[in-house]
Amino acid sequence: MTSFTARTDRAIVRADARSTRYVLLRATAPKRRARRRATRLPVNVAFVLDRSGSMGGTKLALAKYAVERALTGLQPKDRFAVVTYDDRVETVVGSCLATPANKTKALLRLQDIDARGSTDLHGGWTAGADALKAHLTADSVSRCLLLTDGLTNVGLVEPPALAAYAADLRASGIGTSTFGVGQDFDETLLNAIADAGGGHFYFIERPEQIPDYMTSELGELLDTVAREVTVDVKHAPELEVEPLSPIAASVGVPGMLRLLVGDLVVGQQVEVVLRVRFPDVPAGAHTAAFFTIGDRDGVLKADGCTLAWQHADHAANDDQPRDRDVDRAVARIHAARARTEAVRLNRLGEFSSARRALRGVARRIEDYAGSDVELRELAGQLVAEETAVSAPMPEMDRKRAHFSSANLQRSRNVDGGARR
């Protein structure tokens, strides 16, 4: 069964004034596949590995081992390709069925790959995507697994263009997940590529983690139960509805918003927080929004949810109860965003601004925390973290903080895996 709920932090809106409310959407994918499709979907995957000079030694050896481990989980109905890149791009193994013979061939060819040159991330990624495009089918899950340890410095390098390319691939049926190794890559870029590409971003702190992270991501592909999940929000055209969670959204017609959730694995739990801004409406009026969830294959079966807000006077607005579950979810998102911004400012040397980014959100949470223990603790944590961002942080600490905040905003576990 699919679980899908919608809740708001407060059901009364201040009349004759512009107000903001928040909505918490929660969904849980089925814990097993539908009978009509009891077997899993075939996977069409491209392993795209950085072989630039900085990947020499242990990193590249473990990246190759990661491919070896990942291939053991594929069945002959699956397809895979292997691409390596530095300033040159090489398709080590073109797209082929994951038969024992083809797996052996791939591993033998990988043995001869060594580190060299610069980093043409876009070129390698494009070659991997091209290998997948030739074998897209209606019943498969296609994804590039893109690994790098450095900054892209050859070919297409502009972050907006790379994110746009990821979005174009996603629209064509190809997702992109990214893996950043060590301290020299751009986590903001890899995160943006994964978000736009409908995949996931992973920070690999130590080379020995490469095999675990790559096989974990492939394991999720093998466990996909619902593809291209969307949430549709039908609302009064005068409302302004936008995701606070970092999730792609599209507007078709006024009063209709579509949220692009992406693929879900068996039993996965996701949360999406929306911000709703209300116009100046007189007392006694009501405003509603209707939420539905669906997917490409019609796997998710759940009733839609309706939320209604009443416009009332100041006294009624001030006296209304709060839904603390929604408050906590909203606070966690705001806190994670503040931490991400503080890390960015710290890297730029803007230490006072980094400190203010944390303190400002802490104060906002304190304003509505009341006696709620979790909210007060969260505000206190932000204040305590001011010291760390008030001076130059070690780069690995910045990346840990970014990864932690990114996962929290995207309903992922601390290691980047799906929450179940």
Inter-residue contact 215 to 66 (CB < 8 Å): yes
Least confident segment among 32-36, 50-54, 99-103, 164-168: 32-36
Distance, in Å, from the CA atom of 219 to the CA atom of 231, rounded to the nearest integer, reads: 25
Question: How many CB atoms neighbour CB 36 within 10 A?
Answer: 8
Residues 6+ apart with CB under 8 A from 112: none
Question: What average pLDDT does this structure show over 318-334?
Answer: 97
- Give the side-chain half-sphere CA count within 13 A for 12: 15
- Reported as a pLDDT band with limits 50, 70 and 90, residue 179 is very high
pTM: 0.93
Q: Is residue 252's pLDDT more than 80?
A: no
Contacts of 313 (CB under 8 A, 6+ apart): 15, 283
Average pLDDT over residues 328-352: 98
pLDDT for 208-219, tens place per residue?
999 999 999 999
pLDDT at 36 over 70: no
At 16 the pLDDT is: 86
Q: What is the pLDDT of residue 303?
A: 94
Cα–Cα distance measured from residue 140 to residue 41, given in angstroms and rounded to the nearest whole number:
5
From the list 185, 60, 61, the residue with the least C-alpha distance to 119 is 185
Residue 382 confidence (pLDDT) above 70: yes
Helix or strand or coil: residue 187? Answer: helix
The answer to whether domain 41-222 has CATH 3.40.50.410 is yes
pLDDT of 276-315, one tens digit each? 999 998 999 999 999 999 999 999 999 999 999 999 999 9
pLDDT computed for residue 362 by the predictor: 98
Cα distances (Å, whole numbers) of residue 223 to 72, 130, 196, 226 = 15, 24, 21, 9
Report the pLDDT averaged over residues 104-109: 95
pLDDT at 37 over 60: no
C-alpha span between 349 and 375 (Å, rounded): 30
Structural fold of domain 3-30+226-312 = Immunoglobulin-like (2.60.40)
Burial of 270 (0-12, 13-18, 19+ CB in 10 A): buried
- Residues with Cβ within 8 Å of 358's Cβ and at least 6 positions away in sequence, in order, are 338, 339, 342, 382, 383, 385, 386, 389
Please choose, from the candidates 9, 169, 146, the residue with its C-alpha nearest in 3D space to the C-alpha of residue 67.
146
Share of the chain above pLDDT 90, in %: 90
Phi, psi of 286, rounded to the nearest 5 degrees: -125, 145
pLDDT at 35 over 70: no
Element (H, E) at 115: none
CA distance 309 to 241: 14
Give the model's pLDDT for residue 118.
Answer: 87
CA pair distance 92, 328, nearest whole angstrom: 48
